[in-house]
Amino acid sequence: MRNWKKNWLKMRTTKTTNCNSFVSEISNEELNALPLVSFEGKIHVIDRLIEAESAVNWLRSFPVLGFDTETRPSFTKGKMNNVALLQLSTDNEAFLFRLCRMRIPQSLLQLLSNPNVLKIGTAIHGDMDVIKRSVKIKPQGFVDLQEIVPEYHIKNLSLAKMAGIVLGVRISKAQQTSNWENDTLTEAQQRYAATDAWMCYRIYEKLRMEN
């Protein structure tokens, strides 16, 4: 995944980067004053292999996808749960793969290893380290926003603050520590998970426009 810079450069135009387009930091007070947004597109909850195959076939046709994962929080020191949910999003459709309900399909592993489909996320190395505990995978085509935004003099690296700085919006983090292994994901959980992946996509596209 150290090819993130190559992936980033591949999508850039030949214009000179305007590194002064954004403020470097945003306070919590300033962030809370921004309009609250969430993903309003179609959300697909995938918990069967046959559904996953169909979803991946559709997703692999897109050059850029938003990416995120969710894990049930552990309150035991030293214990980390496996990834419960893996999210991939376009600008108007989000797919939530419930890995706690099915094994990771081979087609999804291939998509995560495809260098020609960029997967945009934050703190990706940690996400993939957890996934690697249960499956063998060589992730390729990943771009970590936390490694890109410093080019724009942005110092805040949380997804919420990057969204505030780059897009001028606020996203809710209320569901972050909810139980992602519940029998059924609530509508609030689905919206939260879809929003995180979609927001990564939106931030990346906005940064590309600045080049």
Q: Does pLDDT of 102 surpass 80? A: yes
Closest CA to 41 of 96, 92, 97, 91: 92
Q: Does pLDDT of 5 surpass 60? A: no
Q: What is the pLDDT of residues 11-21, one digit of tens each?
A: 443 334 455 68
Q: Does pLDDT of 91 surpass 80? A: yes
Has this prediction a pTM greater than 0.85?
yes
- Rounded-to-integer distance, Cα 181 and Cα 94, Å: 19
Of 41-45, 56-60, 67-71, 76-80, minimum mean pLDDT range: 76-80
Q: Which band of pLDDT confidence, cut at 50, 70 and 90, is reported for residue 127?
A: confident
Percent of the chain residues past pLDDT 90, beyond the cut: 74
Q: What is the model's pLDDT at position 68?
A: 96
Task: Kindly provide the residue ranges of all beta strands, DSSP E only, lying in 20-63, ordered along the sequence.
Answer: 42-46
| Average pLDDT value for residue range 59-82 | 86
142 sits in which H/E element: strand 142-144
Rounded to 5°, the CA angle 135-118-197 comes to 80
Q: 4-209 has which CATH code?
A: 3.30.420.10
Instruction: Give CA separation, 23 vs 10, 26, 36, 153, in Å.
Output: 25, 7, 19, 8
Q: Does pLDDT of 3 surpass 60? A: no
Q: What is the pLDDT of residues 149-196, one digit of tens each?
A: 999 999 999 999 999 999 999 999 899 889 999 999 999 999 999 999
Q: What is the model's pLDDT at position 14?
A: 36
